[in-house]
Amino acid sequence: MPKVPRRVGRVGEHGSGGSPGEIRLSRPHRLALIPHSGRVAAEGRPDDPAPGRRRPRLSQAQRLARAAPQAGRSGVCRRRRLVSNFFRRKGLGAPHRRAERRSGGAQSSLAAKDPGGHRRGAGRGGERTVVKDSRSETTSIPFDVPTSARAYGWMLGGKDNYDVDRAFLLSTLPHFPECVDIARQNRQFLFRAVRHLTREEGIRQIIDMGCGLPTDNNVHQVAQLFAPDTRVVYVDIDPIVLAHGRALLADDASTTVITADMRDQQSVLDHPDVRRLIDFSEPVAVLFLSVVHHLTDADDPRRILRTVIDQAAPGSYLGLSQVVSDDPVRGAEMTAHISGGGIPWQTRTPAEVDSFLDGLEPLDPGMVDLVDWRPDPAQPPLAPVHASLAPYLGASDTNKGIYEYGGILRKP
């Protein structure tokens, strides 16, 4: 094999590391001389650009999205470095627990509470440690504890998850095997609900509270399929959702994602990006899908829901789903297991959920098991699950004690 110069320069250029007239090769040319050098593409990185052209510079959000962990590969070190850069550019400080230990913060992200005594991390994004300074409230991203967003995404066939999320879910499923079906039934309900709101009710503005990580058939994609002029705001407490969302929505001016705590509904509704896209003098649909069970009684979910309902115009809609059990003992077992793993959780009864919804008019067929809410066998299928989750598909057919309860309600 010919000897390849280590440095790259122009022909005969002074300081290029070789004698006049010696040709310096670009990296793609050097790789071409090395047998079996296709490892770059094989590892999932894009092929090198043509000689003489630079690879396009990526935004921070795009680099974060590209660094998303794949099944079987955690990618934790690279992901942490990119997330740290994202936080520092925003002036929020380093987000990782290791940095918190160096600064003297001894609280675990599992035990972190805000000044009011509440655990941080309502919504599908799991829990976070809160660090306050004179500039802002910094929210860290846990990489060594499970989060509901990543576990939920894995059940939908997503790849944005880590070993700790998969291990937690695999330890939960033997006790609650219906969880995989419940997650997937909720995602299928999202499609039917958004389709109905845009196509049948004429809704053109939607807020998705506790949206979680993007997967297939996201709210804006479904809404704009049936009504291209629909405006959508995604809300989540997890900053990594912001990074993924911005990469996904880079060219969509009618959709945005904000980082906010849905427990503070007034701050969400007053957010500049919400006010820019949502006109509260017109009907709006607000979705709380598979997130209310992440609100404990201490969070006062009735207050949270009433705040947005009271400010919405007449003719607005609320989409809601919550994991419930008709058996209080079974529900308490699920609450203890999931909250014991570090994810805020409270299984409720259907009657408890109904008590949050006074004054609203349910659309037919009312608040029901999601599989019974206008089922449509012809709707688009979800991505297949990982092989380790496949044995749990269909478990809800024989395990009826726990299910997802929900529907769409109208404000008169």
Checking if the pLDDT of 107 tops 60, the result is no
Query: What is the Cα–Cα distance from 252 to 243, expressed in whole angstroms?
Result: 15
pTM of the model: 0.69
**For the segment 108-154, what is each residue's pLDDT rounded down to a tens digit?**
332 333 323 333 333 343 334 333 332 234 445 667 889 888 899 99
**For the segment 387-405, what is each residue's pLDDT rounded down to a tens digit?**
999 999 999 999 989 999 9
Query: What is the Cα–Cα distance from 364 to 335, expressed in whole angstroms?
Result: 30
pLDDT above 90 as % of the chain: 57
- Tell me the domains of the chain and their CATH numbers: 1-56 (no CATH), 60-163 (no CATH), 175-410 (3.40.50.150)
Long-range contacts of 79-82 (CB under 8 A, 24+ apart): 79/143, 80/143
The per-residue DSSP string of 111-160 comes to T-B-TTSPBS--STT----EEE-SS-EEE---SSS--HHHHHHHHTT---
Checking if the pLDDT of 46 tops 70, the result is no
- Who has greater pLDDT, 346 or 114? 346
Q: b/e per residue, 43-52, with b = 16+ CB within 10 A? A: eeeeebeeee
Contact 238, 260 (CB under 8 A): no
In this prediction, residue 248 carries a pLDDT of 76
Read off the pLDDT of each residue in 22-41 and give the average, rounded to a whole number: 44
CA nearest 383: which of 147, 220, 151, 154?
Answer: 154
Report residue 265 as tokens. 């509904």
**For the segment 279-338, what is each residue's pLDDT rounded down to a tens digit?**
999 999 999 999 999 999 999 999 999 999 999 999 999 999 999 999 999 999 999 999
Report residue 182 as tokens. 């419940």
Contact 166, 197 (CB under 8 A): no
Contact 96, 87 (CB under 8 A): no
